[in-house]
Structure 1
Amino acid sequence: MHARIKHLDGMRGLAILLVIGYHAYVRWEALLPYSHITKHIPVFSFGWLGVELFFMISGFVIFMTLDKSDSYLSFLRKRWLRLFPAMLIASLLLYLAGGLFPEWTDIAPHAKNLLPGLIFINPETLSQISGTEFKSLAGSFWSLYVEALFYVIIGAVYFTLGRRYCLPALLVAMLLLSASSVLKSLGHPGFIDVISKFGFIHYSWFMMGCLVYERMHNRDKLFHYALVVLGMLINFSYYVKNAGAITLLPLLLVMVFFIASFYSKWLERILSVRFLTAMGFASYAFYLLHENLMIGSLIKINRYITNEWVMLLMPIVVATALYYIAFLISQYAEPALRNRLKSWGMPATKAGTGV
């Protein structure tokens, strides 16, 4: 299984590069004028699919963690120890650095906005529950809220109903979201507004990862395929409705790419190259930090460098610097904090099996 994990590390590296490309060259066109040159280049314009790659990887590794956990609480502790240290470090860095980028008013830091990331609950839900407005310190945190709730749900099902009900439970969450318009018309708008923020629409990608893992261990059943196909149809219909039929091809490509990587030695070798696995090693911290610090820096640089062609190279420079910060966090600060938390009674967990 070691080769599999190595190529998944490379896939994490590819995923973070896709996301960074999307944010640097497409997402913030209004703030970074040079992106009008790059926004229609597919590798950039569909770079958001890197997040779906992360979700499939998480779906694949989740049964590994569940199978090695003695209880639901043990499983949640392992997942918390995987996610929390880097999130705490990144959140504090983003909070402290926020004031360095007055040019980008969206990232003005407030202490209360540390909370959503540190407890992995999306700020919209926190705002609805508390009556106080919360925002994420970084927009990219949204996928961690989706990821954390996925862990809570699949762990609860695995340790109560059993493994065979995990995929059906994920599909039920998707169907609940699909039925939201009907439920809303019956007079439960608040309930549906909360559900709509949970990110259930993305669960089909976790399901795909789970299915591939079960397939690799000869535990796949015909009904598993039916569940995942239905989940994917729901997800694809969401993207077609919001972004048009043009999204179908890249959605299918990223799904096929993930599956093929387990059967193609050629793909496995490419994904196992040192550059991608090195990116994958630091991908979680890199993901948490990159958007605010990269876009803030690029806006600042763009005030002094007005040549668009020179500016096109600046994301590479800035992202390289941020990678080394993420590497130092992943190599030193995150393990040190994780070990400190373990010494407070937390059970051991293995790094490198998560987003």
Structure 2
Amino acid sequence: MKFGGAAAASTLMRIVVSYHHIFIFQMENRINALDGFRFLAISLVAVFHYYSRFTLPQSPVNYYPYGSSFSNVFSANAYLGVHFFFIISGFVIYFSILRSSHLKDFFLRRFIRLFPPLLLASVITYVFVALADPQRAFPFHVSALSFLPSLTFTDTLFWQPLFKGHKIALIDGAYWSLLVEVKFYLLIALIYFLLPKEKFLRNWTSLMAVLLVVHTLAEYVHFPMAVAIRKAMDVFFFYNYIAFFSAGICFYDFYIHKKWRLEYLVTAMIAGITLWSLGWAGMTFMAVFLVLFAMLVNGSSLLGFFALPIVRRIGVISYTLYLLHQYIGLILINAVCKWLPVAALWPVVPVFVYALLIGVTELIYRYYEEPVRKLMTNYYFPKRAPMPMVEKQAA
């Protein structure tokens, strides 16, 4: 029995150690805790959209059955989950681009990742809004032409002059972040593939330094082109968000090299200026995000929650969940509250709706998103069969 107990304890220890290494620190195709971070990011965004986004003061009209009763400092600032996504994206895309052989390879893989779920989610959202809200109680109805900006990752301002008289907007307002993401892909790819790859971090930091100087001059020194320069920086360099992507890049660089670099200071300066504009609540949120990443890259053992299978799974499907949750979720919340006469239970209805959408998204991911991605990946990136070993024939 003693031997059996010792063997069991030894086995348990090996399992714990394996769990620690596999789920927290090991980089295969992804760092597993990052999926847990995605869970946190999408859940925060859902809190914002379900409790604060569509009531005063965020919206001039209330669209919640419970009004602003449950809107508070936390829910009002939970939109920063999108910014957390941007940090995660900077980390992951830097990892991804280092393993891309050329520009076409990188963009094709990004297209395979982004477009199929976006196409289906756009169709589902458009049809759902039309059928579930025939009286147009919600301002979510748009022209079918709205598929153009939504599916091409372009600004609606480009399309509106071309189709006057039509309400052209994004199929779901949450899609705005995809345009920022694609701009980041373009920027990082151009710097990485068109300039010396081995000096990428230096080149990226140089760009950050130029943006910092130009933005500071345009912001605080009054001259004729200042306003135009600020607008150009927002359009082409997504200046209000670039610090978060850059932070992700720096975190990944530290993760693989395990040493601090002088280049990080420029990102820290831009991040500091950006965070200052968020107010104390926003800065608190972002401080938590940055601490979580610092813990990740330093191998902290306190991130076990983010490695839990259910948490990671929701993180894996978070992209499609993000695409579906806002407009569909709000209409469902109102419908469920109408069926539920007990107003005291209304605060938990968003939780129920969120869980329902997680289930739907899991089915979409399992039976559509994952098979389509594998099919497209195998088509565009076929695996080469290994060359057979040929034994030398004796003369």
Query: Which shifted more, 87-96 or 100-109?
Result: 100-109
Q: 1:311 to 1:84 in 2, by over 3 A?
A: same
Partner secondary structure for residue 101 of structure 2: coil
Greater radius of gyration (CA): 2
Partner secondary structure for residue 63 of structure 2: coil
2:114 equivalent among 83, 87, 92: 83
Q: 1:119 to 1:254 in 2, by over 3 A?
A: same
1:49 equivalent among 55, 67, 80: 80
Tell me the amino acid that sits aligned with residue 159 of structure 1. Answer: F
- 1:150 corresponds to which residue? 184
Normalised by the length of structure 1, the TM-score is 0.86
Whether the 8 Å CA contact 2:321–2:361 is kept in 1: the answer is: yes
Structure having greater relative contact order (Cα 8 Å, sep ≥ 6) = 1
Tell me the amino acid that sits aligned with residue 148 of structure 1. Answer: V
Tell me the amino acid that sits aligned with residue 31 of structure 1. Answer: Y
Tell me the amino acid that sits aligned with residue 213 of structure 1. Answer: Y
Whether the 8 Å CA contact 2:218–2:226 is kept in 1: the answer is: no
- 2:310 corresponds to which residue? 275
Normalised by the length of structure 2, the TM-score is 0.78
Partner secondary structure for residue 72 of structure 2: coil
Q: 1:179 to 1:144 in 2, by over 3 A?
A: farther
- 1:328 and 2:363 equivalent? yes
In structure 1, what is the Cα distance between the partners aligned to 2:156 and 2:216? 22
* CA deviation string 1:284-328 (max 9, x = no partner): 000000001001111233344454321111111211111112112
Whether the 8 Å CA contact 2:91–2:252 is kept in 1: the answer is: yes
1:109 shift after superposition: 3.3
- 1:2 corresponds to which residue? 27
- 1:120 and 2:116 equivalent? no
In structure 1, what is the Cα distance between the partners aligned to 2:104 and 2:263? 27
In structure 2, what is the Cα distance between the partners aligned to 1:288 and 1:313? 22
Provide the aligned C-alpha RMSD in A: 2.8
- 1:230 corresponds to which residue? 269
- 1:138 corresponds to which residue? 172
* Structure 2 segments unaligned to the other structure (5+ residues): 1-25, 56-61, 384-395
Partner secondary structure for residue 48 of structure 1: helix
In structure 1, what is the Cα distance between the partners aligned to 2:67 and 2:188? 40
1:196 equivalent among 211, 218, 234: 234
Whether the 8 Å CA contact 2:251–2:294 is kept in 1: the answer is: yes
In structure 1, what is the Cα distance between the partners aligned to 2:382 and 2:227? 42
Partner secondary structure for residue 303 of structure 2: helix
1:69 equivalent among 85, 97, 100: 100
1:84 shift after superposition: 0.8
Whether the 8 Å CA contact 2:36–2:311 is kept in 1: the answer is: yes
Tell me the amino acid that sits aligned with residue 27 of structure 2. Answer: H
Whether the 8 Å CA contact 1:174–1:203 is kept in 2: the answer is: no
In structure 2, what is the Cα distance between the partners aligned to 1:348 and 1:122? 34
Query: Which shifted more, 63-72 or 194-203?
Result: 194-203
Tell me the amino acid that sits aligned with residue 252 of structure 1. Answer: A
1:194 shift after superposition: 5.6
Identity of aligned residues (%): 24
Q: How many residues align?
A: 342
Whether the 8 Å CA contact 2:254–2:297 is kept in 1: the answer is: no
- 2:38 corresponds to which residue? 12
Whether the 8 Å CA contact 1:123–1:135 is kept in 2: the answer is: yes
2:206 equivalent among 151, 165, 168: 168
Tell me the amino acid that sits aligned with residue 313 of structure 1. Answer: V
Tell me the amino acid that sits aligned with residue 237 of structure 1. Answer: W
In structure 2, what is the Cα distance between the partners aligned to 1:249 and 1:297? 31
